[in-house]
Amino acid sequence: MNILEAQNITKTYKIGDRQVDVLKDISLTIEVGEVVAIVGSSGSGKSTLISLLSGLDQPSRGRIWVQNQDITDQSEDELAPLRNQTIGFVFQSFHLVPSLTAIENVMFPAELNADPHAADKAEALMRRVGVWERAYNFPHQLSGGEKQRVAICRALINKPKLIFADEPTGNLDSTNSAEILNLLFELHREQQTTLVLVTHDMNIAKKADRVIPLQDGQIDMDGYRPVAGSPAYASV
């Protein structure tokens, strides 16, 4: 069963008098429970694609469905419940609110849902990922690895069915990168989420069930060899 489907999506930006297609006629499906890696070099369109698939931006052409709901033309108000309840985000730059403590950052999505158990859920997640002792520190008092662990807790607190992680280890050293990646995969299994991971690193992509390779804004079916033991390419 598909949790996400995109049909013929194109994203065009106007630069001066020119129109530039950052993404060109992309179609794909992602099934419930999959780990999918979107890979490609800088400028290939990876982050633009994930922004469209997650409803953070709208395509210039084409349609996108999340859980059979057409999100293509929805307003910010219409998309807000979907983003808060169905989708979780983990970003390269963490995007923690600097004026909130770590636990307040984690609790924030649950508080938007008026969840009376927000504090208990935040504590359980922070203990699970090993940052509970930093609960009352502000983001500027945390290391990069700690910030990303807090960001992962925030993404998971409402138990979303679909997690988007955009270069989640991009600002971390190799040790923290490995730990964060392992943590994402462990939590994916524990919470039975669907994980869409954007990366330029094929060593990371090899851990996914499937790879969607991008080149110059298009799915490149010949861009990478299949990952051993897994179906490697997008359903088109």
pLDDT, tens digit, 9 for 90 and up, residues 109-149: 999 989 999 999 999 999 999 999 999 999 999 999 999 99
Give the span between the Cα atoms of 137 and 129, in whole angstroms.
Answer: 16
Based on the fold, state whether residues 101 and 187 are members of the same structural domain.
no
- Residue whose structure tokens are 């469209």: 52
Based on the fold, state whether residues 1 and 82 are members of the same structural domain.
yes
User: Could you list the residue range(s) of the whole structural domain that residue 152 is in?
Assistant: 96-159
Q: Which residues pair with 142 in a beta bridge?
A: none
227, pLDDT greater than 50: no
pLDDT number for residue 42: 84
Based on the fold, state whether residues 224 and 185 are members of the same structural domain.
yes
Based on the fold, state whether residues 114 and 199 are members of the same structural domain.
no
Looking at the domain assignment, is residue 21 inside a domain? Answer: yes
Give the pLDDT band (50/70/90) at residue 222: low
Based on the fold, state whether residues 167 and 82 are members of the same structural domain.
yes
Query: Once rounded to an integer, what is the mean pLDDT over residues 35-57?
Result: 92
pLDDT number for residue 41: 85
Looking at the domain assignment, is residue 91 inside a domain? Answer: no
pLDDT digits (tens, 9 = 90+) for 49-84: 999 999 999 999 999 999 999 999 999 999 988 888
Give the pLDDT band (50/70/90) at residue 223: very low
Residues 6 or more apart whose CB falls under 8 angstroms from that of 67 comprise 3, 4, 86, 161
Average pLDDT score, the chain: 90
203, pLDDT greater than 90: no
CA torsion 130-56-16-62 (nearest 10°) is: 130
